[in-house]
């Protein structure tokens, strides 16, 4: 065999290998046998959450080659228990939950909502004679759960700071707060602007915002420490690029968001600086 033929064979083999590598890079990700659970904090009814978040889990599955399944919990305390057990591979959690579970090295933030800070609110009926939080003296008030950050911890702290005595009642979700207050079962209750704005118009029209908190870093999308670096980067990249496609923008619209950006643990130092008692989280 001549030298020219050897060179020709070598070049042909090299070109073939290069073409195969390029084709593999451009091809859609093949489905993986690995199944990951994406847990969403139950601020709203499970069917409402599923309608909003399942399209995102399907998109992430297609982009990463992983099988990512939507999950939630029956209430916020149950969600906290599952976080403590590392039951979710990925989780969308409130700022206080993130600070709490990151401290124990169980979850690490990879993304957060872009151009957004979380703002807690107290709402009352629009025809109520309640004019300020001082008018809530000795009232029974609705909150989602003890460790709901902006919807419960911050409003309760503000009431206590103003020496307003009240009786808290925990009704499991933000939606339940708004519904209970709109029906007159409670004189007022705590929520956040995002979930309030996502309520049906007929419910929202019956309510008015009595008080708002200072803004803080919003909810975290965090991953379990057990997740591999490869999977973590793949999910983070897909979230960061979500807003760059038509389908991604449609998904974000259902979530009430503009985009996700890469997050860092120090983003939640504003919440850490509040020195909130860890006793708000009750886990076994």
Whole-number pLDDT of residue 104: 80
Residue-range domain boundaries for the chain: 35-117+217-280, 120-212
Look-up of token digits 């309640």:
130
Whole-number pLDDT of residue 9: 46
Residue 32 belongs to what H/E stretch? Answer: none
Whole-number pLDDT of residue 15: 40
Closest by CA position to 136, among listed 214, 211, 213:
211
Q: How many whole angstroms separate alpha carbon 94 and alpha carbon 117?
A: 12
Do residues 260 and 113 touch, judged by C-beta distance below 8 A?
yes
Q: What torsion do the CA atoms of 252, 257, 258, 259 make, to the nearest 10 degrees?
A: -70
SS3 track for 196-208: HHCCCHHHHCCEE
Whole-number pLDDT of residue 11: 41
Whole-number pLDDT of residue 168: 97
Asked whether this chain's domains 35-117+217-280 and 120-212 adopt the same fold, the reply is yes
Query: What CATH number should be reported for the domain whose range is 35-117+217-280?
Result: 3.40.190.10
Residues 104-138: tens digit of each pLDDT? 878 999 999 999 999 999 999 999 999 999 999 99
Q: How many whole angstroms separate alpha carbon 30 and alpha carbon 271?
A: 40
What's the CATH superfamily of 120-212? Answer: Periplasmic binding protein-like II (3.40.190.10)
pTM of the model: 0.79
Q: How many whole angstroms separate alpha carbon 263 and alpha carbon 265?
A: 7
Percent of the chain with pLDDT over 70: 86
Do residues 68 and 31 touch, judged by C-beta distance below 8 A?
no
Q: Which parts of the chain sit beneath pLDDT 70?
A: 1-33, 278-284
Biggest CA–CA distance in the chain, Å, is 99
């Amino acid at each position: 065999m001549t030298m020219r033929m050897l060179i020709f064979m070598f070049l042909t083999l090299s070109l073939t290998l290069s073409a195969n590598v390029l084709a593999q890079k451009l091809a859609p990700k093949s489905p993986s046998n690995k199944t990951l659970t994406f847990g969403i904090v139950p601020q709203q009814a499970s069917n409402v959450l599923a309608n909003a978040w399942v399209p995102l889990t399907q998109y992430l599955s297609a982009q990463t080659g992983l099988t990512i399944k939507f999950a939630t919990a029956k209430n916020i305390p149950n969600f906290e228990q599952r976080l403590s057990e590392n039951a979710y591979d990925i989780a969308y959690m409130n700022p206080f939950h993130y600070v709490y579970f990151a401290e124990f090295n169980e979850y690490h933030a990879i993304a957060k909502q872009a151009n957004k800070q979380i703002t807690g609110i107290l709402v009352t009926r629009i025809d109520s004679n309640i004019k300020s939080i001082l008018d809530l003296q000795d009232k029974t008030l609705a909150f989602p759960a003890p460790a709901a950050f902006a919807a419960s911890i911050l409003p309760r702290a503000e009431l206590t700071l103003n020496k307003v005595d009240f009786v808290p009642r925990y009704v499991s979700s933000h939606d339940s707060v708004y519904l209970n207050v709109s029906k007159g079962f409670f004189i007022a209750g705590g929520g956040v602007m995002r979930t309030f704005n996502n309520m049906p118009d007929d419910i929202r029209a019956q309510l008015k915002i009595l008080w708002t908190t200072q803004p803080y870093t919003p909810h975290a999308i965090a991953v379990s420490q057990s997740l591999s670096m490869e999977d973590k980067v793949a999910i983070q990249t897909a979230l960061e690029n979500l807003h760059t496609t038509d389908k991604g923008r449609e998904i974000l619209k259902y979530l009430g968001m503009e985009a996700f950006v890469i997050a860092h643990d120090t983003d939640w130092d504003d919440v850490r600086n509040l020195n909130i008692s860890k006793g708000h989280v009750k886990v076994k």
